[in-house]
Amino acid sequence: MFVRPICWEKKALLFLANDFSLLYHLFFAYKFLRQNKSQLFSPFCVCVNLLYLVRRLRSLTRTVLVLSLAPASVAADSVSVVEAVKAGNLPLVQTSIKQRKDVNQPEPDGTTSLHWAVQQDRLDIVEALISGGANVNTKNRYGAADEIGCFEMREDGITGLADPSGLFLSERAAAVAGTCVTVTVEGREFKATLNAQNLVERVSYLSTNDVIGDYLIDISYSEYGDFGGIKFPRRIVQTEDGQPTLDITISNVLPNAAVAIDAPANVQQAPTPALRVAVEKLADGVWYFTTPNARNWAVDFGDHIVVVEGQGSDERSLLAIEEIKKTIPNKPIRYVINTHAHYDHAGGLRTYVAQGATVVTHEMNKPFYEKAWSRPRTIAPDSLSKAPKPAVFETVSDKKMMSGGGKTLELYYMKGTSHNMYNLFVFMPGPGLAFWGDGYNPPEGNDPRDVGRTPEQAIELYRVITMNNLDVKTIAPAHGAGPKPFDNLKKAIGLLPP
Ligand SMILES: [Zn+2]
């Protein structure tokens, strides 16, 4: 075993060890240091303290525990060691050990009674378990690396992990295995895991998304090679929310190679355009609200408003709602129709929920939204997370009609569409307006063909229209240069000459 204190930007003190049992030493060191804050900033003192504690632990392991002679309770027979530890019941732990129950029996994630005892700050139980044969080298699912321990030293003393073993417990979702150091950049905490050679093995941090909220980005660096004196990983693998998003194998590294990656001056100087919502009347009581590459409808249903598509983001929806309320004043938005769950079509739904609207979507999308919307949103709080309320859904299986104020909207499930499994098509009889999420984006100009994609999905849209005998006159979908005549869709798929 070895112990090395390392300075980390003058503030963090990081201990490395090649032995899992250092976890317990660190735990004692942590407790000791908390009681001796005046000595905190002397690495020498820390070393001395640690060595003292290591010695103390060694002598502890040589101690033979005198087991309690108290008779075992009836309940003890049915209680495992780990259950007794979780209950914080030392006599029960001692009885269980005496009954020769397995002190090393792990939970499904590998967490043992010893992990729990340390996590609960029960030195007496730790002593009982070690004396009873607990293996201090057992790792749980966060223990893939040999090194453990993360301390952050700030001006006011050691902060960060009150329980070092918490790194090993399953409820800590973003736990990082191994020796870690946390770095805070622009208010966001990054965790880097170092191996025994002080090479970075993992970096993890939280990012955010309008639909799913906070999610973990985890990057692993492995197969380090020596490239002219520079140690660099040959393999970089990234996951986002547990899904693989990047897997790079690096064949060569050129230290300090000259590369020009400057953005052109006009790009650098281009101001970010302010989001603006354009309003266009589609028919009596129906308006089109447009931001760059995103369009939605608002329909006047007499005593309330129905919005078709809540896409984009909280910011876009807040601006759209402002325009909708100016266009159709003094009426609440009661419903927002969602065509499908792709993020660019669902990112602004929560804003409508926050304002009391019911979400109308395909029945198979509801459980997805319920799950996604229950996740934390610490990185970018939105209207709904700032004023939480349960989302209310009305679902569609094959078809749904919505009527009010002399208007009707017909919703059709686009069965078998290749774009998305649970996709709705919206039709408004009378003016003959059609809305969809994706499949055919009417281009600007005279050529109605959508060169951005092959025509299969446009053919699927046409099939929904013909199979349901819909008298479409105008297409006004979520993307593209709508509104356009229905003939443009026919031209795009070759039913009419372009
Ligand atoms: Zn889509």
Residue 417 CA, ligand 1 centroid: distance in Å: 11
pLDDT tier at 405 (50, 70, 90 boundaries)? very high
Beta-ladder partners of 386: none
The more confident residue out of 203 and 405 is 405
Dist. CA 480 → ligand 1 center (Å)? 13
CA of 448 to the centre of ligand 1 (A): 20
Give tens-digit pLDDT for 36-48.
443 333 333 333 3
Q: Which residue has the tokens 């229950």?
A: 374
**∠ CA(395), CA(401), CA(402), 5° rounding?**
90
Return the pLDDT at 153. Answer: 38
CA of 347 to the centre of ligand 1 (A): 12
> Any idea where the domains of the chain sit in the sequence?
4-198, 278-492
Q: For residue 339, is pLDDT > 90?
A: yes
Please give the distance, rounded to the nearest whole angstrom, from the Cα atom of residue 309 to the centre of ligand 1: 12
Q: Which residues surround ligand 1, an ion (CB under 5 A)?
A: 342, 438
* 275 CA distance to ligand 1 middle (Å): 22
Query: Which of 19, 163, 171 minimizes the C-alpha distance to 107?
Result: 171
Compute how many other C-beta atoms are within 10 angstroms of the C-beta atom of residue 490. Answer: 16
Could you tell me if residue 44 is left (phi over 0), alpha (psi between -120 and 50 degrees) or otherwise beta? alpha
How far does residue 346's CA lie from ligand 1's centre (Å)? Answer: 10
Indicate if the pLDDT at residue 18 is higher than 50. no
Q: What is the DSSP secondary-structure string of 153-179? A: EETTEEES-S-GGGGGSTT-TT---SE
- Residues 26, 305: Cα–Cα separation, whole Å: 61
Paired strand residues for 286: 283, 299
User: Which of residues 291 and 242 earns the better pLDDT score?
Assistant: 291
Distance 447 CA to ligand 1 centre (A): 23
CA–CA dist 341, 267 (Å, integer): 32
Distance from C-alpha of 293 to C-alpha of 339, rounded to nearest angstrom:
16
Alpha helices (H) in 401-481, listed in sequence order: 456-467
Beta-carbon contacts of residue 430 (< 8 Å; ≥ 6 apart):
283, 407, 408
Q: Which residues contact 76 (CB under 8 A, 6 or more apart)?
A: 84, 92, 95, 96, 99
Whether the per-residue pLDDT at 7 is higher than 50: the answer is: no
Q: How much is the pLDDT for 451?
A: 82
- Kindly state the tokens that stand for 221: 């660096």
Residue 321 Cα to ligand 1 middle (Å): 22
Contact 138, 169 (CB under 8 A): no
Q: How far is 139 from 286, CA to CA, in rounded Å?
A: 62
Give the architecture (CATH level 2) of 4-198. Answer: Alpha Horseshoe (1.25)
Q: What tokens does 244 get? A: 């693989």
- Its pTM stands at 0.64
Per the CATH hierarchy, to which homologous superfamily does domain 278-492 belong? Ribonuclease Z/Hydroxyacylglutathione hydrolase-like (3.60.15.10)
Report how far ligand 1's centroid is from the alpha carbon of 238 (Å).
24
Helices of type H across 341-410:
343-346, 349-354, 366-373, 383-386
pLDDT at 117 exceeding the cut of 50: yes
Asked which of 132-136, 218-222, 291-295, 444-448 is least confident by mean pLDDT, the reply is 132-136
**Residues 144, 168: contact at Cβ < 8 Å?**
no
Which run of H or E residues covers position 466? helix 456-467
Name the residue with higher pLDDT: 351 or 76. Answer: 351
Residue 465 has pLDDT above 80, yes or no: yes
What does the pLDDT read at residue 108? 67
Distance, in Å, from the CA atom of 96 to the CA atom of 222, rounded to the nearest integer, reads 43
- Interval between CA 244 and ligand 1 midpoint (Å): 21
What is the distance between the alpha carbons of residues 48 and 29, in angstroms, rounded to a whole number?
Answer: 10
Tell me what percent of the residues of the chain surpass a pLDDT of 70.
Answer: 74
**pLDDT tens-digit readout, 317-332:** 999 999 999 999 999 9
Q: Which residues fall within 8 angstroms of residue 485, CB to CB, at 6 or more apart?
A: 473, 474, 475
Say how many Å lie between the CA of residue 445 and the centre of ligand 1: 23
pLDDT at residue 137, rounded to an integer: 65
Distance 473 CA to ligand 1 centre (A): 23
What is the chain's mean pLDDT, rounded? 79
Residue 433 alpha carbon to ligand 1 centre in Å: 20
Read off the pLDDT of residues 67-102 as tens digits, 9 standing for 90 and up.
222 233 335 577 889 889 888 999 999 998 888 888
pLDDT at residue 44, rounded to an integer? 34
Q: For residue 404, give the 3-state DSSP assignment.
A: strand
* Mean predicted confidence (pLDDT) in 273-291: 95
**In the predicted model, is pLDDT for residue 408 greater than 60?**
yes
DSSP element (H, E) containing 290: strand 286-291
Q: How far is the CA of 451 from the centre of ligand 1 (A)?
A: 17
Distance 394 CA to ligand 1 centre (A): 21
CA 31–ligand 1 middle distance (angstroms): 54
The one-character DSSP state at 221 is E
Ligand 1 midpoint to CA 384 (Å): 23
Kindly give the distance from the C-alpha atom of residue 341 to the centroid of ligand 1, in angstroms, as a whole number.
7
What is the Å distance from ligand 1's center to 420 Cα?
7
DSSP for 21-39 reads THHHHHHHHHHHHHT-GGG
Residues in contact with 40: Cβ distance below 8 Å, sequence separation at least 6, in sequence order: 33, 46, 153, 157, 158
Distance 428 CA to ligand 1 centre (A): 21
Tell me what pLDDT residue 109 has.
Answer: 62
In this structure, of 128-142, 396-410, 428-442, the range with the lowest mean pLDDT score is 128-142
